[in-house]
Amino acid sequence: MLATDAPPSSFLRVPARAGAGRMRSRGDRVFRLLTLAAALVLPALVAAIGVQLWEASRLARERFGVGFLWHETWNPVASQFGALPFLYGTVVSSAIALALAGPAGVVVAIYLAEMAPSWISRPLGTLVELLAAVPSVVYGLWGVFVLIPWLRAWVEVPVSLHLSRVPLLAGPVYGPGLLAAGVVLAIMILPTVAAISREVLLAIPGSQRDAALALGVTRWEVIRHILLPAARRGIAGALGLGIGRALGETMAATMVIGNTARISASLLAPGYSLPSVIANEFTEASTPLYLSALVELGLLLFGVTLAVNVLARMLVRGAVR
Amino acid sequence: MRALVDRLMTAVGAAVTLLGILPLLSIVAYTVARGASALTPSFFVATPAPVGAAGGGIGNALAGTAFVVGLALILGVPAGVLAGLYLAEHAPSGPVAEAVRFVSDVLAGVPTIVVGVFVYTLLVVPLHTFSALSGGVALALILLPTVTRTTDAVLRLVPPDLRDAGLALGVPEWRVTLDITLRAALPGVLTGVLLGMARIAGETAPLLFTAFGNPYWSVSLLRPIAAVPLLIYEYAISPYPAWIAQAWGAALVLVTCVLAAHLLARLLLRPGRAQP
């Protein structure tokens, strides 16, 4: 830097402009500090969210302690608050979403990255990405008026007629419920799983494919025995990012999950999730303790999604670099 | 036999992919079919009508979304671009930049409802009111990691020769960064901003208890303000068929804008251009 800034003046036969040189480096220093400050806003923000939610949930934390996590009662009138029904609903709906969208997303990624010719994979890839662009509230609207009636008629009623002995599928059919939420979440996280898995697959060097193909192995065998094992960690990361998105998804889940703070064994029963109870009750919280309990649910959600995202990002980073 | 398995698997892949995009086609088809009839000229300029009264529209909600999103852009874009400049220009592979990149990706995964709760405790409680300002801040926080990471990615694709040429002319480094590197990467940066804008325009959860919604026109920073996604939510869960029809109409407007923004971004970033 110094060498280019101040070439020997005798060589250029112009007087050295020491003052200008100092001005220049000061401008650079200021600009550098400015950009550094902007960059540090991001980690500061993550810390600030954590601290702020921790502070704002003090009342509930002091009142209920760790028991908040496994208390089943959520009764604002009696000031009894436990997070269990929401943790249960969040985990179950996200698990359904992962069970449906996980394998499907990986297959879509394999098809787009390895199987389809580019004139097919490009438009289809765009459509899959557009799926991620549809706003959550529109998924909710579609879920309420299109998906739920369809699910009820074609899946839930037949299932409850024939498989009602299975506790997971027992009980009356409502429509809105854990299953409906899981299906909507699955549709919403499919693009995430597919896009990241595709990225991971494309990061595997082409020479590995060529070497195997040269030995007379078919494309599916290359995928099955070489690419998938090599992409294992990255795909696990993609699934993790998918779960992270499902756990925190608010509007669509709120509109189809049934909003009932009860734990039922049946997937057909209505439930509740962490984001949806916050969305529904936050503006109605009539006492400081009630509000503080809702903030604590937010803190839980923040902690869980943070942990899931950190883990998943680490897996994906290892695979893509 | 092995060739047959290969073909079979390709067919399975194609079938699953088509099944995967089926919901997108269904969503587009239903929003058009159920929303198109709501789109009268007055729908775009009127305020919501009371239950039972005919007519009413989303004029104030469109204005409110523009207002809040504009606020988020003013707050979020400069900070995001500066942060991206730091990552790409000043320490591209240093430990600080790597850590900030990682945190930025993680921040992008924080549920937007959590951002809403955060801004509620940060702004709504001290100001004693829901406000357009708090809605804009919430959306800006969601926009920030997107803009940072796209700016970072497209800046790193600018050929180093451009920078060197500028520096060799004796231009100060910060001017080179702003006038040469950033300018060369501008289409990519703007695409990132466009995609970020499309995302925050459709966000509902972070606005529920910040912007809150408002049935009337408002241009005040410190009053609650309407937004299209909030209106869709409120109408969709209402028991009134007329409101539900309007929810579909508003959804059609929103989906059209968001998908158009994405297709425009695709055009800006055709292969050969800087890809984020």
Model ipTM?
0.93
Same domain as A132, residue A254? yes
Q: Name the CATH superfamily housing domain B59-268.
A: MetI-like (1.10.3720.10)
Put simply, the chain A residues between 151 and 170 with a CB less than 8 A from any chain B CB are none
User: What is the structure's pLDDT at B270?
Assistant: 66
Cα distance from B193 to chain A (closest Cα, Å)?
Answer: 14
Provide the 8-state DSSP code for B43.
G
Same domain as A215, residue A192? yes
Asked if residue A13 belongs to a domain, the reply is no
Partner residue facing A255 (CB), from B16, B120, B236 = B236
Same domain as A124, residue A41? no
Distance CA B9, CA B31 (A): 34
User: How large is the C-alpha radius of gyration of chain A?
Assistant: 26
Which of the residue ranges A27-36, A273-282, B263-272 would you say has the lowest mean pLDDT?
B263-272
Amino acid at A268: L
Asked if residue A279 belongs to a domain, the reply is yes
Asked if residue A204 belongs to a domain, the reply is yes
Q: pLDDT band for position A7 (50/70/90)?
A: very low
Q: What is the pLDDT of residues B46-99, one digit of tens each?
A: 999 888 788 889 999 999 999 999 999 999 999 999 999 999 988 778 888 899
Residues 6+ apart with CB under 8 A from A177: A256, A257, A258, A267, A268, A269, A270, A271
Q: Are A257 and A270 in contact (CB under 8 A)?
A: yes
Structural domain of A29: 18-51
Q: What is the pLDDT of residues B141-152, one digit of tens each?
A: 999 999 999 999
Asked if residue A11 belongs to a domain, the reply is no
Q: Are B194 and B261 in contact (CB under 8 A)?
A: yes
Cα distance from A307 to chain B (closest Cα, Å)?
Answer: 9
Q: What is the mean pLDDT of residues A281-293?
A: 92
* DSSP per-residue codes, B122-170: IIIHHHTS--HHHHHHHHHHHHHHHHHHHHHHHHTTS-HHHHHHHHHTT
Q: What is the pLDDT of residues A196-251, one digit of tens each?
A: 999 999 999 888 888 888 998 888 999 999 999 999 999 999 999 999 999 999 99
Q: pLDDT band for position B212 (50/70/90)?
A: very high
Same domain as A188, residue A45? no
Helix (H) or strand (E) holding A318: helix A288-320
Any B CB within 8 A of A194 CB: yes
Same domain as A206, residue A155? yes
**C-alpha distances in angstroms, A233 versus A237, A246, B98?**
6, 20, 20
Q: With 80 as the cut, is the pLDDT of residue A21 above it?
A: no
Asked if residue A98 belongs to a domain, the reply is yes
Q: With 50 as the cut, is the pLDDT of residue A5 above it?
A: no
Q: Are A134 and A249 in contact (CB under 8 A)?
A: no
Q: Are A96 and A182 in contact (CB under 8 A)?
A: yes
Q: What is the pLDDT of residues A61-72, one digit of tens each?
A: 999 999 999 999
SS3 B68: helix
Tokens of A93: 């709906």
Q: Mark yes or no for CB contact A53/B209 under 8 Å.
A: no
Asked if residue A39 belongs to a domain, the reply is yes
User: What is the structure's pLDDT at A28?
Assistant: 87
Q: What is the pLDDT of residues A115-131, one digit of tens each?
A: 999 899 989 988 998 99
- Average of per-residue pLDDT values in chain A: 88
Same domain as A301, residue A186? yes
User: Residue A115, exposed/middle/buried by CB under 10 A (0-12, 13-18, 19+)?
Assistant: buried
Q: Mark yes or no for CB contact A131/B212 under 8 Å.
A: no
Partner residue facing A34 (CB), from B82, B120, B237 = B82
Q: How many domains does chain A have?
A: 2
Q: What is the mean pLDDT of residues A96-109?
A: 96
User: What is the structure's pLDDT at B206?
Assistant: 95
Q: With 80 as the cut, is the pLDDT of residue A16 above it?
A: no
Chain A residues within an 8 Å CB radius of B203 = 135-136
Residues 6+ apart with CB under 8 A from A253: A93, A181, A184, A185, A273, A275, A276
CA proximity to A291, closest of A81, A15, A84, A120 = A81
Chain B residues within an 8 Å CB radius of A249 = 111
Q: What is the mean pLDDT of residues A70-94?
A: 93
